[in-house]
Chain A
């Protein structure tokens, strides 16, 4: 299978239903017949208001939640197979790591999960610690880190296997402007290296600046997909287009 022509992410007719809390027989449809394809080497923005089904879709892609129906694959491999995650890096919205480990120990642990050799692990850890600017703190327990430093550890762990696909859930939420800039730089660098980046964000300005294509989901359904220019056509910017797609109506009277 040619990696250049295979879709990196492919979602077909994906539906996810959850039992309503406390009511086992009543189901909530979080994702409804979603179809999506992310191509090799693109930066893809996954947008939608809160509760639109973005996180559920990501949970399916990462194997945390099984699809009720439909399929999802990474590099052509069903997401239910652990091997599908061999070439991906994942940065959760809120970073939580083993606080009793140092950043170096954490990265070493994840490198072992990926089956990296010792020499390769040492080389990657040194490179990543430098990339995220944690040289001075790499041997300190993570519990002593500030929030920004923990986010940077998160970014380093997402890159430990030199992934071909990076899945980022709200990567810049809670970061200061410098942290945001760092994340943007890293995404840009990965794009230049030909990697694929799939990320969800509420920062539409940021999405507009770095994404090749975007998808907008609302109430579990795909409402629009295309390049930023295509989605924004006829609107002042991506934000205006987004608001129209999700059917937002201002309640403020002039």
Chain B
């Protein structure tokens, strides 16, 4: 476990020493603050739109951080050839993957905590309520959804040569899953065979990232979701993350790595 933690530490160090992370963070923070300051026509309900916009920014920023950071890990190690001195040490390829995953996931988690804290301060200062438990549930499930995304991107990064192509394809896939995931079964029923079976098959086979989206709860309801459902969603994320990491390990352990 120490080796995995050491590898994760390098990923986190890389993230906070790169300028792009700060650019993204400052941009999100500025837009959040700006949105928080807006008060069109003194309408109290405008705060809901502000919250919606802020949460959307948090989702997009977190996805960018998770996907871009993960997509470059293994390809950059191969391109910069830092992978070879590393694998010449007593570390298995599985540990390298686990370390990369943990580093990216923890780094994204830290970014989420900062974003949500910022969001709570901005919205709380307007509404004078701080529903911390709702924020916790929203952030936790988003973080676990990002675990699935990170594991999926790590798998993709073993097969696509360039980090940019991995990032682009992953981003399209994730946006597709988030946008179409809940509608795919309805869409399937309207199609003739064999399209109906195909879409239904995809619906049941894909990870449902949209189930982790609690933005509407935060913006409108501010009610907690049932804790058993919350726990079940966490387990669902762990299982999908495990599947993607396992597939990545199968691919990586057989790869020829010539210096």
| Chain A residues packing against B (C-beta within 8 Å) | 18, 55-56, 58-59, 62-66, 82-86, 88, 90, 92-94, 96-101, 105, 109-110, 112-115, 154, 157-158, 161, 167, 169
Contacts and interface: CB of A to CB of B under 8 A. Distances in A.
A250 B128 CA distance: 88
A88 B90 CA distance: 9
Given A105-B13, A109-B10, A115-B2, A97 B259 contact: no
Most chain B beta carbons < 10 A, residue from A59, A82, A84 = A82
A97 B88 CA distance: 13
A86 B85 contact: no
B103 to A, nearest CB: 12
B13 A113 contact: no
Q: Classify chain B: how many residues form its interface, as a range.
A: 20 to 34
Contacts of B81: 92, 94, 96
Given A100-B18, A113-B3, A157-B85, A85 B13 contact: no
Contacts of A109: 6, 9-10
Contacts of B84: 62, 64, 90, 92
A112 B90 contact: no
B45 interface: no
A92 B82 CA distance: 10
B91 interface: yes
Nearest to B81: A96
Given A96-B81, A100-B13, A113 B89 contact: yes
Q: Across chains A and B, which 5 residue pairs bring their CB atoms closest together, nearest first?
A: A112-B6, A90-B88, A96-B81, A64-B257, A86-B90
B36 to A, nearest CB: 34
B35 to A, nearest CB: 33
A83 B17 CA distance: 32
Nearest to A105: B13
A82 B95 CA distance: 10
A113 B88 contact: no
Interface in B56-108: 80-82, 84-92, 95
Contacts of B86: 113
A78 to B, nearest CB: 13
B82 A96 contact: yes
Nearest to B79: A96
A64 B10 contact: no
B14 interface: yes
Nearest to A141: B17
Nearest to B84: A92
Contacts of A97: 82, 85
B87 A65 contact: no
A204 B247 CA distance: 46
